[in-house]
Amino acid sequence: MKSHAFRKTAATVLDEAGLSARMIADQLGHTRPSMTQDRYMGRGTVSPATAAALEDIL
């Protein structure tokens, strides 16, 4: 297993815990939160609020 996998796992855990991209970037040592979001944070699942809003149009 490569160290990138551990960084990705750490970013995912912190993201799921509700930490901001800035906080996760700081933990990973990134200057730009956008780099953290692009490289390490998953797109995630659709939020219940988004799904509910789309259900209303059907």
Query: Of 1-5, 12-16, 43-47, which one has max mean pLDDT?
Result: 12-16
Q: How far is CA 26 from CA 2, 11, 30, 33, 53, in A?
A: 21, 11, 6, 8, 33
User: What pTM was computed for the model?
Assistant: 0.67
Categorize the per-residue pLDDT at 33 as very low, low, confident or very high, splitting at 50, 70 and 90: very high
